[in-house]
Structure 1
Amino acid sequence: MSAPVTRRVKTFSWNVVPPRVTRQLLLAVYGAVKDDGAVDRVRKLDDKALAAQAARVFGTSGINKRHRDVTTPVLRSAWLPGVAAQELIDFARLVQLELTGKARAQKLRTKRDALAFLAARRATDTFKINLSKFFARLNKVQRTVTGRAPAAPAVAGPVGPRKLAGQGQPDPRTPYPHQEQAWANLDALTEEEQGRRAGLLVLPTGAGKTYTMVHWLLRRLARDPDVRVLWVADQQELVEQAGRVFEELGPTMPKGTTREIRVLHGAADSVSHLGSDALDIACVTRQSLVGAQFDQGAQKRVATYLQRPTVVVIDEAHHAVAPQYHRLLDFMQEHASRTVLVGLTATPWPAGTGQVKRLLERFPTRVAAVEVRDLVRSGVLATPVIHTINTDIFVPITTKEAARIVNQDIPGDVLRKLDQEPRTRTLVRTWVARREEWGKTLVFAPTIENANKLGDAFRDAGATTWVVHSRADEPRREAIAAFRKFDAPSVLVSVGMLREGVDLPDARTAFLARPTTSRILMRQMIGRVLRGPSAGGDAHAHVVDFRDRWGADIDILAPADLPDLHVEPENPTEPEYRLPPILDEVTQEAIGEDILRRIEAAYEELWRVALPHPGALLTTRLVGFYELGEVNVPVLDHCQAAWDQLVHRALGHIKGHGSYSMVFDDCPVPRPAERDVKAVVSFCEAYETEPPLVKVSASFSIRAVARDLVDQPAMTEAQKHAWLQQKWASSLARAAFPSYQHFVEEVTRAAFQLMNGATGTEPETWPVTPSQRDGRPVLSERERDLTHMFSATVAEGRTLLGSDSEYRHLLGAGALPRYEWTRTRPRGLWAYWAPRIAGRNKGTPIIRVNRILKATQELVPDRLIQALLWHELCHHLLPGRGHDAEFRRLEALWPDLMEQGARLDRLHEEFDLMANPRKRT
């Protein structure tokens, strides 16, 4: 490597821009978004503060693309008149070259000519770009930088062949059981004589994928001198890393064994070396291997290399479902009969419907598959501790942007909205406050501009910091190497360059400042800090999740959404308090935080639109979860029949109309979030089979908690608080309620009713017990029309409320909810009020009455159904209030409420409500 040299360079600086111009540029930006507070602050800033603020808003390289529309008029009116005459004339002539007609021939001899010419130009994109570049060029200063002498051009990778010479040395690493099992499975794969020899090795990040594969390959090469290796990856760093591991482990081959290895990509050796018969191991990027079109020349090189028996390794194999890979792998399988294909990945769930199926078709044999939880228990991976930091940054989202995010990860123009000074301060302040605990920290930034600002802010706060991205001044390799060597708390900020193929063994903390909807990206970011004590790391890894407020219902992932991490989240308000696990009532094993978070997401529908407390909230039972690999989807008891219907429809066993979410329109809240419905449908389409349902059992009942509270001996307020806190934290209540306070209020309300004698009906719930098969009759359905009963209920309700009631207008035409019988017989509830979940009338409220009540008038009188309807109409009058005192007051206006409530209770005693509805009375 060449010696460091110092040199003088010119770089843009806001300090040399006239403060008057800088102020007008900032005022234009803040005025465009109508931020009056910021406008007032800018007017008061001194010259130095103006320059600093402009660097934060526009960037350190001039005016960025995002602000060109707003700043172009300011540059024309406030800045161009101050430019020197010759500079201005030269710029005007440059603009003139883009034109045709008379303007192209106009004479520009004076500054006045140039100004008039530029003032007459339309603000086209080309003009804006040229003007912003001209502005940046004329506002540069000289500074001294330290770099490398340019005499010897640096290369990104090793050049020339290297010899691996076996010396019979012992393996420098002690293999883990999962690696030894993988080697045995790889041996079995190569010995198969029929069918395609292709397998997938799935190991989580930090579990040693590269070492596992290279160790086995060297043993294979030592046994058979005719075998060669083709290692393919998308990134240069990945193939270089593979080459380093081959060199590290090469001496473990038997004495006298030699093999030639080359690294092939645009900045290392040429792919033409694939034609050399002496080459045994080729580590090559896919781009270099196939070129632009995978033309005949590229095909000939691949075919020539595969003339000998070859083990082809596809690193980060989840990319192999891409069309660019299809042609390459299809060609290999057609032109090489003695090839073994092995895919390596930590995330075997490529995005897109059917992609998992394609991946498994390409790699049909599972060579290894290890669960993260097992590696955490064995110390190979660290136990992740999740810290949640709310940034309080609001991210406005348009309808078009929301639609794009649904179909892909968050695009760059949306991520740029996160580049806000308060957010940057929050990140830096969080690190500085606990720098010794965080240690060496990886910060995943959303954009290059934001990464640069973060780097400056961390340095200003006294942190040793490196920044790596595609346009960074310091080469990526040198920055990462310096971070590796630094033995103290420090920060490495990156944009899209640390997710794959980077080994940072002593990185202890990941700052997730880059939000994502991609599980693969989330795993890659977290995986960079999960090296455990058995692998030279720490027992715990810190994952700091920075949460923003999004202006649309977007599924921004959290670390707890990954099913195999099994994290114990840190309470954001009490750093020393850990939430206890919620246990399966049968096995006493902890239920995953990812499942609890998805139940919480289902309940968000309730709190987001201020619904009343339905029965599923007062009594909730988790019966299992669909294990989909990349996600676990909870199944609640009251939605289980709808899930069965969805799966059969997704597999084509039954026909359906409308969206898949409509299947759950008949269910009360909590209903599955749309993302869960899509996940199950995608699994069915990808695997063409039912998803495995893992049975778990966890229940929660507000009444049961209230009853326990009433039965407790006398407690102080502190003891009562501790008792309720434990009940909330260790049950599904913490997923069902938006806060502990909401939970306490509901329990207190239920306890009050128990102590003072419950009044009113409870149509949203009735006791569910297994059928006793004791001969009790079954309620048989008859034709019953809800319309006249609903109309009669509304008319009587308006009378009961009186003409002066503030609620009366809500029972008028145009304000009433829809009503209908349920399509199925939901267990555990008589009626409920909720919005439609999908379809043309999505969001409109509807009252549903359990069709089990469509029995004869003698068994289920109209007055009983009217009492139920009145109860649900009271929820319509008081949405979000639950069964509070005002609700009970309105409900009690119904004249025969108690009589009909008692009749409801007798129905459960007299009839078998759990039996097959086809039976007749």
Structure 2
Amino acid sequence: MIGAGEIRVKLKHNPKQLYEHQVEALEVLKEIDQHESFKSVLVIPTGGGKTLTACWWLLNGVLNNKKKVLWLAHRQLLLEQAAKTFELNAYADVMTNRWGFNYRIISGTHQSTQMIERTDDLLIVSKDSLAKRVKSLDRWLKGEKELYIIVDEAHHASAPTYEKILNHLQTKVPNMKLLGLTATPFRSDARHLSEVFPDDIAYKIDLTDLIKRGILSLPHFEECQTDLVLELTKEEQKKLELEDWIPSEIAIKIAKHKLRNAIIVRQYDYKKYGQTIVFAINRVHALVLKSLFEKSGVKCGVIISRETDDILEMKQFGAENEAVITAYQCGEINILINVNILTEGVDLPQTRSVFLTRPTTSATLMTQMIGRALRGSKAGGTNEAYIVSFIDDWQDKINWVNAKTLMNEQKELREGELSDRVEKIYEQISLAKLEEYIHLLDASIDTTQLESIPFIKRIPLGMYAFTLVDRGIERSHQILIYDSTKRRYDHLIAQLPQFFNYHQIKGEITSPHLLQKLSDICARRCFLGELIPAYDERDVKALLQYFSVHQEAPPFIPFEQLDRERVDLSKVAQTIIDEHLTRSEQRAYIDQLWNSPESLFSIYFHKKVFFMRQLNIELRKLVEGETRGVS
């Protein structure tokens, strides 16, 4: 794309289909857009389409309504990727009110801030270019009541340059709607991201969820010991742990170590690893590895991040890197060796493996490096990926991030332990669920709206379980959390410390009037819009009471996705329909499900009458759907 111009809306439907998690994220973004201002983060792992999600939201709900957008990023590749995504998704079914809109890219290699015009709808800007001339936006913003700001790779947002830009913008527009995009919401600077985004995470989906859905590849982790022994001074060790900076003398030693480099090259097997990205220590290391790979008959290229103030030199470096990336995308080279450049914002779905030849203490950087190989088959990538770490012997015992440990954040339970845990959880949830759903047993209550959603969404994701003391008597309380309410409760709990401080609440809430007032505020803040299943005001009150006593959230008991699927009655109903079971066969099949010691149905539904009521509803929906299809 050129640096500025008009993006015309294509008069047809967008052929791109969003994934389920992207649709969920868009619904959340539409909800928070009802507020006059917000400062939130969208967390979608690398390969999950966070840029596309944000662009759809802005095209449909913001640019479509002639509102201004400022897109900020810290790398040229990110700027161009964003512009291209806007261009590729400007279709008539996404933008219904406009024929087109004006965009401009501002960076050292594109246009300058002096060229910004009042008629520009979308500015895609390098934060370094803008930080030096942030007042150049004043004329563009004159008279504007609100501004939508996107910070791409938002884990960098605590940098002073971003702070300078955002503080200035805050003085120029009454309503600032700030959304950070990141795959890794880890702290990456001295200031925590919550200071930049006080409204916390608007939407988040985990890496493991995207792997289960086939959007990301299933990773296989391998470790290769190099037998290279390294020592650091106490000063070097401290600096490395704080800044993730490898001292130059140590870096050169690693880069030129013949045995270590030979191990890296010998490890590569094209049939197994396919196209591979290698993360090198420094420029010397990258060039040495390139030479060795090519001597062994492997085609490879090198790209390096170079910092320079010379615009012509920057353009030259950018063109060289772009040519190498294009060769890799076309399959002309098998290995792409890079230094500090391929961690963010580059779409290389054909990558099957990454070689981690440089260690890091940064969870953010490690997650980004792993993510380069995780583009799943549904996203045009591979079903499986290989993450190969080369491990040196650091006698100083540096706290390096381990790739496999990072991916497996939750401790795995043995199968027997998992089964016992699931059974206990479902026993706990059963009575709470029955109390909440008891109205389903009453034919006089209209439950059409609840029954209209997929059954799996009527199965809780988990629950908060705790006890409250009322007039000296302990009473247990369970808050069931569903797909519809999880993000709302997450947001509420994250805000509770500030909420209590703001309302000057110290100690237990004993006044019913105060409890009702606080509950009403929470409802307006966190439970806007239609929720199916809906939240219960009594649950919010119980949560507020618990927090007032303990100054922390109650424990949350999660249910794994596979466990939820084990009690999904829509699947049982589908089996009955697909197998054309007779009445007697249906009864035998249902009795088997209810009485089987391996089944969770009797534990989860507690009463067979409730189980049968729900199953009949699912059967009726399938039969009516087939009837509509025939007509």
Give the TM-score taking structure 1 as reference length.
0.43
Structural RMSD (CA)? 2.8
> Partner letter of residue 395 of structure 1?
L
Post-superposition CA distance 1:676-719 (Å, at most 9, x none):
xxxxxxxxxxxx976987789xxxxxxxxxxxxxxxxxxxxxxx
Q: Cα offset for 1:551?
A: 2.0
SS state at 2:281 partner: coil
Q: Distance in 1 between matches of 2:345 and 2:376?
A: 18
Give yes or no for contact 1:372–1:564 (8 Å, CA) kept in 2. Answer: no
Name the counterpart of 1:456. 291
Name the counterpart of 2:173. 336
Give yes or no for contact 1:168–1:254 (8 Å, CA) kept in 2. Answer: no
Spell out the pairing of 1:263-662 with structure 2 (5 A cutoff).
263-274=105-116, 276-291=117-132, 298-302=134-138, 304-305=140-141, 307-308=143-144, 309-351=146-188, 355-361=192-198, 364-413=199-248, 414-419=250-255, 420-431=257-268, 434-470=269-305, 475-486=320-331, 490-563=334-407, 582-583=414-415, 585-587=417-419
Go from structure 1 to structure 2 and tell me whether the alpha carbon gap of 1:446 and 1:170 turns closer, same or farther (over 3 Å shift): same
Q: Cα offset for 1:447?
A: 1.1
Structure 1 residue 178 and structure 2 residue 21: aligned?
Answer: yes
Go from structure 1 to structure 2 and tell me whether the alpha carbon gap of 1:694 and 1:447 turns closer, same or farther (over 3 Å shift): farther
Q: Cα offset for 1:436?
A: 1.0
Name the counterpart of 2:41. 200
Name the counterpart of 1:237. 77
Q: Distance in 2 between matches of 1:584 and 1:408?
A: 43
- Count of residue pairs the alignment pairs up: 417
Q: Distance in 1 between matches of 2:142 and 2:367?
A: 34
Structure 1 residue 257 and structure 2 residue 94: aligned?
Answer: no
SS state at 1:200 partner: strand
SS state at 1:213 partner: helix
Q: Cα offset for 1:536?
A: 1.1
Post-superposition CA distance 1:477-501 (Å, at most 9, x none):
11111111116x7100000010111
> Partner letter of residue 456 of structure 1?
S
Q: Cα offset for 1:581?
A: 6.6
Give yes or no for contact 1:439–1:490 (8 Å, CA) kept in 2. Answer: yes
Q: Distance in 2 between matches of 1:566 and 1:528?
A: 22
> Partner letter of residue 476 of structure 1?
N
Go from structure 1 to structure 2 and tell me whether the alpha carbon gap of 1:588 and 1:461 turns closer, same or farther (over 3 Å shift): farther
Give yes or no for contact 2:158–2:189 (8 Å, CA) kept in 1. Answer: no
Spell out the pairing of 1:736-885 with structure 2 (5 A cutoff).
none
Post-superposition CA distance 1:176-202 (Å, at most 9, x none):
121111111211222214xx3222111
> Partner letter of residue 551 of structure 1?
Q
Go from structure 1 to structure 2 and tell me whether the alpha carbon gap of 1:583 and 1:329 turns closer, same or farther (over 3 Å shift): farther
Structure 1 residue 219 and structure 2 residue 54: aligned?
Answer: no
In structure 1, stretches of 5+ residues that fail to align are: 1-157, 568-579, 591-687, 697-921
> Partner letter of residue 233 of structure 2?
T
Go from structure 1 to structure 2 and tell me whether the alpha carbon gap of 1:251 and 1:490 turns closer, same or farther (over 3 Å shift): same
Q: Distance in 1 between matches of 2:408 and 2:188?
A: 18
Q: Distance in 2 between matches of 1:160 and 1:359?
A: 29
Post-superposition CA distance 1:382-440 (Å, at most 9, x none):
11110111111111222222222232213242333312111111110000xx2211000
Q: Distance in 1 between matches of 2:222 and 2:556?
A: 29
Structure 1 residue 247 and structure 2 residue 87: aligned?
Answer: yes
Q: Cα offset for 1:354?
A: 5.4
Q: Distance in 1 between matches of 2:216 and 2:410?
A: 12
Name the counterpart of 2:629. none
Q: Answer 1 or 2: higher relative contact order, Cα 8 Å, separation at least 6.
A: 2
Q: Distance in 1 between matches of 2:131 and 2:190?
A: 26
4+ long deviations beyond 4 Å: 471-474, 563-567, 586-590, 688-696
Go from structure 1 to structure 2 and tell me whether the alpha carbon gap of 1:228 and 1:523 turns closer, same or farther (over 3 Å shift): same
Post-superposition CA distance 1:266-294 (Å, at most 9, x none):
111111232x1221111110011111xx5
Post-superposition CA distance 1:29-64 (Å, at most 9, x none):
xxxxxxxxxxxxxxxxxxxxxxxxxxxxxxxxxxxx
Give yes or no for contact 2:63–2:69 (8 Å, CA) kept in 1. Answer: no
Give yes or no for contact 1:560–1:566 (8 Å, CA) kept in 2. Answer: no
Give yes or no for contact 2:159–2:189 (8 Å, CA) kept in 1. Answer: no
Go from structure 1 to structure 2 and tell me whether the alpha carbon gap of 1:517 and 1:582 turns closer, same or farther (over 3 Å shift): farther
Give the TM-score taking structure 2 as reference length.
0.62
Structure 1 residue 166 and structure 2 residue 4: aligned?
Answer: no
Give yes or no for contact 1:200–1:344 (8 Å, CA) kept in 2. Answer: yes
Give yes or no for contact 1:372–1:565 (8 Å, CA) kept in 2. Answer: no
Q: Distance in 1 between matches of 2:330 and 2:26?
A: 33
Post-superposition CA distance 1:100-137 (Å, at most 9, x none):
xxxxxxxxxxxxxxxxxxxxxxxxxxxxxxxxxxxxxx
Q: Distance in 1 between matches of 2:260 and 2:143?
A: 56
Go from structure 1 to structure 2 and tell me whether the alpha carbon gap of 1:205 and 1:564 turns closer, same or farther (over 3 Å shift): farther
Give yes or no for contact 2:83–2:124 (8 Å, CA) kept in 1. Answer: yes
> Partner letter of residue 43 of structure 2?
V
Identity of aligned residues (%): 30
SS state at 1:390 partner: strand
> Partner letter of residue 328 of structure 1?
I
Spell out the pairing of 1:18-37 with structure 2 (5 A cutoff).
none
Q: Distance in 2 between matches of 1:588 and 1:526?
A: 34
Go from structure 1 to structure 2 and tell me whether the alpha carbon gap of 1:279 and 1:695 turns closer, same or farther (over 3 Å shift): closer
Q: Cα offset for 1:565?
A: 6.8
Post-superposition CA distance 1:164-185 (Å, at most 9, x none):
1112322232111211111112
